[in-house]
Amino acid sequence: MDLIIAFVTGLTTGGLSCLAVQGGLLATSLARQLELDMQSLGPRQRLQPQVALPITLFLAAKLLAYTVLGGLLGAAGSVLQLTPLMRAILTIAIGIFMIGNGLRMLNVHPIFRYFVFEPPSAVTRFIRRQSKGNASFAAPLMLGAMTVLIPCGVAQAMMAVALGTGNPAQGAAIMFAFTLGTTPVFFTIAYFATRLGAALEKNFGRIVAVIVLVLGLISVDSGLNLAGSPISISKLASQLSAQAAVPAPAAAPTTAPAAIPAATAVAAPPVAGQAIYVVKVENSGYKPSVLHLAADRPVTLTWVTQGTRSCARAVVIPSLNYEKLLPAAGQTTLDIPAQKPGTVIEYSCSMGMYFGKLVFDLN
């Protein structure tokens, strides 16, 4: 039953969720193949780019990597988990590589020629002998394996399940079933999007380059949010949107902490005199996204989830070294030590898509 649930989760929410994070690596691996096709194939053949094999290799490497990870998680526990900062740096690095690759495809400057992914010369010669001149197989294999380093929120939930089995075989089976479920979504969207783009042969290279650039910017933005940076593209866009909105009538100032709804109220504060604040974790993000808290005294933050399935469940607070996968429904408390007035703590989901801010400025 666990394997069936894992497969169905991958086939539905997991496929689209992971594609949003890992689609950039797939697009990067396909970009090189499409460039080679445009250079070596005739006009008629270019309308049928050879993308099925690179996609298959990418997904096969992804499936193998996650299966191995599941076995390791079942055997070794949380030792293998990357810290939020390490994952943020990796996400930013991948985004920079994608941006450089896109600029190379647009011939912006010769310096960007270093952003092409090429295997070692010995491996290249071997692949050429085996594939009659096509040396593009190494990129999708290695990039597919790299997806294990940037799991989406749903994948992290499956990793937690694999971790809880305490058994290498069961952990590997759960991750295999989940990743296998995501495969049809990855293959279908990538294949048909590429074939549709090939019909626009004249400008197809530029279209692919622009897509890689956009995905690279999204990756860098997600990494900045995941690292707790106060500045990112999405945060600037959110601030501009808030400034452009019509201001609502000002409410009377208050220093009282946000009350917990009666339906989810806790029995008592964990510590006498410790203020309790609430953040609702919804599929679309955190509400309120900016929460004002009392300074100079310990506070308790309560995450409230009610049928939440998005990556918002996987909360990351880099400055507190806090990372927690919240239940789909319920409440989870976090005790925060006293902070100086004016302290701002940034947090986000594990994918850097949803973010919030804790501002300690109340008396």
pLDDT recorded at residue 82? 62
The range of the structural domain enclosing residue 268 comes to 256-362
Q: Is residue 247 part of a domain?
A: no
pTM, rounded to two decimals: 0.59
Q: Is residue 129 part of a domain?
A: yes
Q: Is residue 248 part of a domain?
A: no
Give 268-294 pLDDT, tens digit per residue: 344 555 678 999 999 889 999 999 999
Q: How far from 265 is each of 131, 220, 259, 277, 301, CA to CA, in Å?
A: 64, 38, 9, 11, 13
Work out the end-to-end distance of the chain between its first and last CA atoms, rounded to an integer number of angstroms.
Answer: 52
Closest CA to 334 of 310, 353, 356, 308: 356
* Claim to verify: residue 191 and residue 268 sit in the same structural domain: no
* Structure-block tokens of residue 76: 């070794």
Residue with the two structure tokens 């749903």: 154
* Claim to verify: residue 288 and residue 146 sit in the same structural domain: no
Side chain identity at residue 156, one-letter code? Q
* Claim to verify: residue 172 and residue 278 sit in the same structural domain: no
Residue 318 has pLDDT above 80, yes or no: yes
* Claim to verify: residue 197 and residue 154 sit in the same structural domain: yes
Rounded Cα distance, 145 and 109, in Å: 30
Rounded Cα distance, 213 and 206, in Å: 10
Q: Is residue 246 part of a domain?
A: no
* Structure-block tokens of residue 252: 């009377």
Per DSSP, what are the bridge partners of residue 355? Answer: 348
Q: Residues 6 or more apart from 106 whose CB is under 8 A from it?
A: 206, 209
pLDDT recorded at residue 304? 95
Q: Is residue 33 part of a domain?
A: yes
Q: Is residue 250 part of a domain?
A: no
* Claim to verify: residue 114 and residue 9 sit in the same structural domain: yes
- State mean pLDDT over 114-135: 52
Residue 319 has pLDDT above 70, yes or no: yes
Q: Is residue 236 part of a domain?
A: no
Q: How confident is the model at residue 40 (pLDDT cuts 50, 70, 90)?
A: low
DSSP character string of 145-176: HHGGGS--HHHHHHHHHHHHH--HHHHHHHHH
Rounded Cα distance, 345 and 210, in Å: 34
Residue with the two structure tokens 């989760």: 9
* Claim to verify: residue 219 and residue 269 sit in the same structural domain: no
Q: What is the mean pLDDT of the chain?
A: 75
126, with CB counted inside 10 A (0-12, 13-18, 19+), is: middle
CATH number of the domain where residue 342 is located: 2.60.40.420
- State mean pLDDT over 34-55: 58
* Claim to verify: residue 33 and residue 172 sit in the same structural domain: yes
Lowest-pLDDT range, 30-44, 176-190, 217-231?
A: 30-44
Q: Is residue 249 part of a domain?
A: no
* Claim to verify: residue 75 and residue 213 sit in the same structural domain: yes
DSSP character string of 59-102: HHHHHHHHHHHHHHHHHHGGGGPPPHHHHHHHHHHHHHHHHHHH
In the chain, the number of structural domains is 2
* Claim to verify: residue 216 and residue 260 sit in the same structural domain: no
Which one of 212, 227, 242 terminates a domain? 227
pLDDT recorded at residue 128? 46
**Angle of the 153-165 helix axis to the 168-198 helix axis, nearest 10:** 160
* Claim to verify: residue 33 and residue 159 sit in the same structural domain: yes
* Claim to verify: residue 20 and residue 68 sit in the same structural domain: yes
Q: From edge to edge, which strands make up the β-sheet containing 285-287?
A: 285-287, 275-282, 299-306, 329-336
Alpha helices in the chain (DSSP H): 2-9, 15-40, 52-76, 84-105, 121-131, 138-146, 153-165, 168-198, 204-226, 233-244
* Claim to verify: residue 83 and residue 171 sit in the same structural domain: yes
